[in-house]
Amino acid sequence: MNNPKQRIQEQRPSQPDLLQEICELHHDLANYLNAVQGYAELASRSAAHDADAKIHGYLRSLLEASSSAVVLHERLGQLARCEAASGQFDLGEVMRHSVGIAVPCFAANVRLSVHIHQRPAPINGDALALQRLISNVVINAGQAMPLGGALQVVLDSHQVVDLLRTRARDLHPGRYLRVTVRDTGDGMDEQTLGRIFERGFTARPGGSGLGLSSVLDTLERHGGGVIVNSWPGTGTEVNIYLPWAG
């Protein structure tokens, strides 16, 4: 007859089963964290001109707490050796949804145009992470024009012939999908341009400085890159490159 300690041990899941269950919970938790952090960022940006200092303080605390939760979540995934949520999807659909999320965050007199020149646009990766990446870039472009202007978001394909150096990583020759975000805002000088992906850095009063800080990490995980050009008094152009999965 088995003793109680032996029965408990027999009822416990094996280590592989336990790790699998942890990874399933890890993937589910990622969806909630993406929603919490994403909407916290949107709320912070929407309230950028609100005079209530308490609201800014609450939102900043929420952003900082959600960012810390994301770090802990990633650490949990590393300990359990979970693979990142991944699948093949159409980047054009993700881009359209990202733009839809971004539109309420900037002035109504911003003239927006969206062009998808590559159909289909197959990509492997984490759709939620890329949705947040694109929406953050579009939001930043739109908010760079508080008095109005033109904002263009374009998806096409691009053939890299020689090694292409970007802010995230060097891109090897091959076919990539490219998302280009252009605005006619005030642009940035070289010093500001060099810091836009730093955590906590913002060039706008009331900004959280958290929107673009995760861009490089997300692109590195997807084998992609980003090149940003800006011209003071003229505007800014952001080119995001992601490996073609076709």
Q: Which backbone phi and psi does 225 adopt, to 5 degrees? A: -155, 170
Strand partners, 236: 183, 230
Looking at residue 40, what is its pLDDT? Answer: 76
Q: pTM of whole model > 0.75? A: no
Dihedral of alpha carbons 205, 135, 212, 165, sign: negative
Looking at residue 240, what is its pLDDT? Answer: 97
Looking at residue 168, what is its pLDDT? Answer: 82
- Give 59's contacts (C-beta < 8 A, 6+ positions apart): 40, 43, 44, 47, 208
What would the two tokens of residue 191 be?
């010093």
Looking at residue 208, what is its pLDDT? Answer: 47
Q: How far apart are CA 136 and CA 157, in angstroms?
A: 21
Looking at residue 182, what is its pLDDT? Answer: 98
Q: Which residues of the chain have pLDDT under 50?
A: 5, 7-8, 206-210
Looking at residue 29, what is its pLDDT? Answer: 79
Looking at residue 137, what is its pLDDT? Answer: 92
Strand partners, 138: none
Looking at residue 7, what is its pLDDT? Answer: 46
Q: How many CA atoms lie within 13 A of 41 on its CB side?
A: 23
Looking at residue 200, what is its pLDDT? Answer: 66
Looking at residue 210, what is its pLDDT? Answer: 46
- Give 207's contacts (C-beta < 8 A, 6+ positions apart): 45, 48
